[in-house]
Amino acid sequence: MLAHELIAPTVISLNKRVIKAIVLGEGSALSHSAMLANAMVIPMIVGVGEALAEVGEGQIVYVNAARGEVKIN
């Protein structure tokens, strides 16, 4: 899931079978959303800024949250 920002109630409503990772343009690793994603075992990377604009519709995005890497295919 790619988004500019994400509020905690939205994170709670995510289907873990569909959402494999979250990449946010803004936010903090200590935010409520990040803590909820962590508790739900959904990898999350925050603060990628304008890099989100580089992702086109239908493109595959690889996320390695442990290394803080986002790769656009």
Residue with tokens 């803080």: 68
* Residue 11: pLDDT over 90: yes
Query: How far is it, in rounded angstroms, from Cα 29 to Cα 27?
Result: 7
In this prediction, residue 4 carries a pLDDT of 94
Residue range 38-67: mean pLDDT, rounded: 92
Query: For residue 24, with 0-12 CB atoms within 10 Å meaning exposed, 13-18 middle and 19 or more buried, which class applies?
Result: buried
Taking residues 42-66, what's their average pLDDT? 91
Average pLDDT over residues 9-32: 94
Q: What is the average pLDDT value for the chain, to the nearest integer?
A: 93
Given a cut of 90, whether residue 52 has pLDDT beyond it is no
51 has a pLDDT exceeding 90: no
